[in-house]
Structure formats: structure tokens, C-alpha cells
Homo-oligomer: A and B are copies of this chain.
């Protein structure tokens, strides 16, 4: 079956700082026209940075929309048309205070593809030199470090439920097991 859905028109309901919202008319594979609500977001990056003792940096922060504190790999939003590796290098240093090095692309992850354009680019890096933390004025977070196994355990017992962190720990553990990451 041909699955493609064709955008016929778009009506912007909101244009904001980090996202826009539009309502489209779209043509389905059978020819009918339906309404599609779409959140537009520039996308982001997630970075799993490993120190020299095999521990990974994590950030603990209040996630406003979820109304709770969450433990996650460091992450950040891309500026429009920004190369995700540039975002990754900036965000890891700003959030943890350490530059990353030997960046390796793990792949992309679509958080909620039905109605959101966001794509998260995922990187592995090794810990580089100390550069000092530089947080945005509305950013409050605590930094900690955990081993791969401790993070995997925290995902299974649901202490960690952030989507990109689950996806990244899966890819890293698999790539280490398969010798694709040493």
C-alpha cells in the first residue's frame, strides 16, 4: 500500500520561541482530506559523555511540562539550521563544565513522530578538558556521573524514563557489546 499523506494547506495557530503549531489539511492515500495538528520544533541533541573511569555525565533538572525532576543525558535545542555536532559540543560543555572529544554519532531518534517534527541527534563523546559550566539564565540543573550498568539498572527500575536517555543507553550498550564502540 502507498502510505504517503500529502500536505494540502497549513494554518499557523501559534508561532513561539521554541515551537510553532499549525493545523494542516492533508490528503490520505485513499483520497480523503483530513486535519493534522503539527508541532514544529527545530530538533535537539543528546550527548553521552564518558569520563576516564567509565562513568557517564547525567543532568538532573525540573522538566516543566512533566511537572517533575528528571535524570537525563545532557541535551539541548538546535538553533535553526545549526549543525547538530556544533550544538552537541556547545551543550555538553555548558551543562557539565567539561568539553567533549572524540564525538561519535549514534543516530537520530524521533520522540513523538505522529504530530511533532522534532528529531534528536544522539552522540557519544569522551571527556575532554575542564571549561566551566555556563548555564542559561532560566536553566537549573545538577550534574552527576554513573556507570553504564548503573544507568541501565535505573532505566529498568524506572528511575530514568527520559526517551532519548533510554534510546542512547540502548545504542551505547549494544555498540560496546558488538565492538563498535570501545
* A interface residues, Cβ below 8 angstroms from B: 1, 3-5, 7, 13-14, 16-19, 21, 23-24, 26, 28-30, 32, 34-39, 41, 60-66, 69-70, 72, 107-120, 137-138, 140-142, 152, 155-156, 158, 161-164, 166-167, 169-171, 173-175, 178, 180
Question: What separation, in Å, do the CA atoms of A171 and B154 have in the docked complex?
Answer: 11
Query: Apart from A32-B137, A112-B163, what are 11 other A-B pairs with CB-CB below 8 Å?
Result: A3-B60, A5-B64, A17-B37, A63-B110, A65-B116, A107-B155, A112-B118, A152-B174, A155-B171, A156-B175, A166-B171
Contact in complex: B13, A142 (CB < 8 Å): no
A-B contact pairs, 28 of them (CB 8 A): A3-B61, A13-B21, A14-B14, A18-B37, A26-B64, A32-B137, A34-B138, A36-B64, A63-B110, A63-B114, A65-B114, A65-B116, A65-B117, A107-B155, A107-B156, A108-B158, A109-B163, A110-B161, A111-B163, A112-B163, A120-B163, A152-B174, A156-B178, A163-B167, A166-B166, A166-B167, A166-B171, A170-B170
